[in-house]
Amino acid sequence: MRLFAATTALVLATFGGNAGAAAAAAPELTSADVNAWLDGFVPYAMGTGDIAGGVITVVKDGQVLANKGYGYADVAAKKPVDPERTLFRAGSVAKLVTHTAAMQLIEQGKLDLDGDIAQYLDFPVPDAAAYGKPVTLHNLMTHTGGFEELVRGLMASDPKVHMPLETYVKATTPTRIFPPGEVPSYCNYCLALEGYIVQRVSGENFDDYLDKHIFAPLGMSNSTFRQPLPEQLKEQMSNGYRTASQPPGYFELVGPAPAGSLSTTGADMARFMIAEMRAYSGAESTLLGHEAAQRMQTTMFRPVPPTLGMAVGFFERDRNGHRVREHGGDTQFFHSKLALFMDDNVGIFLSFNSTGKEGAVGALREAIFAQFADRYFPAPLASLPEASKAGESGQIVAGRYAASRRAETTFFKLFSLLGQANIAPNDQGILTVPGLNELNGKPKEWHEVAPFVWRESHGPEQVAVKVEGDVKMLSADEVGGILVLLPVPWQQSGAWILPVVGIASVILALTVLAWPIAAWRRRRRGTPLALSPRELQIYRLARVVALVDVLFLVGWMGIVSAGSADLAAYDGRLDTWFHVLHLLGFVGAAGALVAIWNGWLAIAGKRGWKATAWNVGLAASCVAVSWFGFAFNLIRLKLQY
């Protein structure tokens, strides 16, 4: 990833601008210049990153300046990408279409942006009474509904198990883990609810509504949210790839369809961008009226000012003094981005059909956006000021953090533990935040420019921390509309939990391996264990418990790894194995009492310090694994994920 990212950075530095350039140095944004700029590096970067194909579309003042197809839609057949006809899965860029549909109904007075969504639904809002505040459309559109992350049904490969929208929203009941309107936590379920509300209030099937009120009026004849694809569009669909050198993947069926099931072309997304900006500017548009479009682009929520946040459905991504509204989108194979420079009447859409070598597409996608902005809308980058008491704020915010986008009541809580980030200033007071990296893959360095506000070394983006007595949250421009980082209380810190579980796992594994070896050696020597029948029985049972715990841990590692490699594995096919693992966990938890008993007998029986220490360590390990299982929902009576 670092090699590819460094190559991408070098190529873009050659063909692009930079945020520190003088405004006079900016080339004019013309069709000829943008096409030459893209052609100068995109094919090479895609080849280096093992990316099969992509499409990039640029519009300005209602005209298409570039609509470029690169690489292949089908590598084996050497079928080139056609930006007019080749369909790409837009991922979460689809959310912008859903939000626009909801805004149309708000504009008509059929929906209230600040009203309780319960009035539009025919089933109870999950945890409706939690926190004493209703969930509103405003919350759904800014990812502040407060719901935890659920994964079951998020993706499917088999149409037989794919759930229709109504089935999905009623079968998926996430717990509310934050008060609505306070903590951004990227929420596909929120968009599923929003789409279902559009369906119920309009009286039209969600797909029919989009066809009639968005796609047809804009001439987007090659766009659809329907899954599987309509017959007339199937031959236009690009394959999706992990890398171009691997076989293609399956057509991904998105469970929360309003959140990410859009299949579209570069040409159609040009029409969508132009319509959004026409409505915003007050020009005649079939999409939205001027007031509704202005409202849609108004900042609605910033978790920690001055870092950026959310408009209605759009992420703020202002750059170089220009107001930018954007949204990224990722499936397992397709990776997209749409950005609108609202006051410049300029838009760019890009989508690639491969993740690429070591996730190369992520660096390429973000680099194209950043260098496009810096090339055509440059601004001098202010020098970093010397903030008073530099480094003092850094000491206050130092600690472990976890993302707000998380699960609390399912086994996916484990991912929050594994993803914890340690943030601390260096000797110069400079912060690094894991996950916020330069194009070359190295962590960005953040310099304090005001109390609890930091700016990156080589760009305009900022990080800020909300402090109210103690640290409440950390937000960054790059992800402020999606999530924030929240301090981790000591009792949930991976700094001690992971080493404890690691040591326990080693002790359990060595116990299981040593048990038959030691028995074989004793048999050969004719030296049986000097234990009473009861002690021998407990001794053996404790080893069986160790084996159960090892199977429990290895099973979870394997099954979570399988699901991480293919989200469609969480379509219900693994449920039997989940039940088996939960059962093993309960057996291990009950068996921990046997292990404790065995440890006590070792102490009381004076078996020697080595044997006693090992059996006491075995008991502690069994207890640690059982605690870990219950604490992170690996042992539960109810299967929900």
Contacts of 164 (CB under 8 A, 6+ apart): none
Q: Are residues 98 and 193 in the same domain?
A: yes
What tokens were used for 485?
């980082």
Pairwise CA distance, residues 239 & 242, whole Å: 10
Is residue 315, in this structure, part of any structural domain at all? Answer: no
Neighbours of 603 (CB within 10 A): 12
Q: By C-alpha distance, which of 257, 282, 269, 248 is closest to 354?
A: 248
Q: Which residue has the tokens 């990316």?
A: 51
Q: Sign of dihedral through CA atoms 225, 231, 232, 235?
A: positive
Angle, helix 360-376 to helix 31-48, in steps of 10 degrees: 160
Q: Which residue has the tokens 């890009």?
A: 350
Q: Are residues 223 and 239 in the same domain?
A: yes
Contacts of 66 (CB under 8 A, 6+ apart): 31, 34, 35, 38, 56, 57, 58
10 Å CB burial of residue 521 (0-12, 13-18, 19+) is: exposed
Neighbours of 527 (CB within 10 A): 9
- What are the residues facing 473 on neighbouring strands? 466
In the listed set 491, 520, 547, which residue is the last one of a domain according to the structure?
491
**What's the half-sphere exposure (Cβ side, CA atoms, 13 Å) at 629?**
33
Pairwise CA distance, residues 34 & 377, whole Å: 13
pLDDT at 259: 96
Is residue 75, in this structure, part of any structural domain at all? Answer: yes
- What are the residues facing 63 on neighbouring strands? 60
Q: Sign of dihedral through CA atoms 492, 493, 499, 502?
A: positive
Neighbours of 250 (CB within 10 A): 15
pLDDT at 12: 45
Phi/psi at 482 (5° precision)? -105, -45
Q: Sign of dihedral through CA atoms 351, 354, 355, 360?
A: negative
Q: Which residue has the tokens 């909300």?
A: 466
Scanning 57-150, the segments in alpha helix (DSSP H) are 94-107, 137-141
Q: Are residues 195 and 333 in the same domain?
A: yes
Q: Are residues 467 and 497 in the same domain?
A: no
Contacts of 568 (CB under 8 A, 6+ apart): 155, 156, 157, 158, 250, 252, 253
Q: Which residues of the chain have pLDDT under 70?
A: 1-25, 386-391
Contact in structure between 193 and 117 (CB atoms under 8 Å): yes
Phi/psi at 90 (5° precision)? -85, -5
User: Quick check: helix, strand or coil at residue 582?
Assistant: helix
Q: By C-alpha distance, which of 154, 174, 172, 361 is closest to 261?
A: 154
Q: Are residues 619 and 564 in the same domain?
A: yes
Is residue 385, in this structure, part of any structural domain at all? Answer: no
Q: Are residues 23 and 171 in the same domain?
A: no
Pairwise CA distance, residues 151 & 256, whole Å: 10
Total domains in the chain come to 4
What tokens were used for 445?
């360095």
What ranges make up the beta strands (E) of 420-505? 421-423, 446-450, 453-456, 462-468, 470-476, 485-487
pLDDT at 390: 53
Scanning 443-532, the segments in alpha helix (DSSP H) are 494-525
Is residue 387, in this structure, part of any structural domain at all? Answer: no
Contacts of 455 (CB under 8 A, 6+ apart): 384, 446, 447, 449, 461, 462, 463
Is residue 459, in this structure, part of any structural domain at all? Answer: yes
pLDDT at 458: 83
Neighbours of 388 (CB within 10 A): 9
**What's the half-sphere exposure (Cβ side, CA atoms, 13 Å) at 412?**
19
Q: What domain range is 18 assigned to?
A: 1-50+361-380
Q: Are residues 137 and 231 in the same domain?
A: yes
What tokens were used for 278?
């026409």
Angle, helix 360-376 to helix 2-15, in steps of 10 degrees: 20
What tokens were used for 144?
């502040």
Q: What is the CATH number of the domain that holds 99?
A: 3.40.710.10
10 Å CB burial of residue 340 (0-12, 13-18, 19+) is: buried
Is residue 132, in this structure, part of any structural domain at all? Answer: yes
CA angle 83, 186, 370 (to 5 degrees): 50
**What's the half-sphere exposure (Cβ side, CA atoms, 13 Å) at 43?**
12
Express each pLDDT in 608-633 by its tens digit: 888 889 999 999 999 999 999 999 99
What ranges make up the beta strands (E) of 104-203? 155-156
pLDDT at 11: 44
Q: Which helix (H) or strand (E) holds 79?
A: strand 79-80
Q: By C-alpha distance, which of 319, 253, 626, 326 is closest to 482?
A: 326
Is residue 146, in this structure, part of any structural domain at all? Answer: yes
Pairwise CA distance, residues 491 & 474, whole Å: 20
- What are the residues facing 348 on neighbouring strands? 58, 339
Q: Are residues 151 and 45 in the same domain?
A: no
pLDDT at 15: 46
10 Å CB burial of residue 232 (0-12, 13-18, 19+) is: exposed
Is residue 318, in this structure, part of any structural domain at all? Answer: no
CA distances from 426 to 8, 58, 248, 435 (A): 28, 41, 45, 17
Q: Are residues 17 and 117 in the same domain?
A: no
Contact in structure between 236 and 87 (CB atoms under 8 Å): yes
Contact in structure between 393 and 465 (CB atoms under 8 Å): yes
Q: Are residues 43 and 97 in the same domain?
A: no
Q: Are residues 122 and 267 in the same domain?
A: yes
Q: Are residues 425 and 366 in the same domain?
A: no
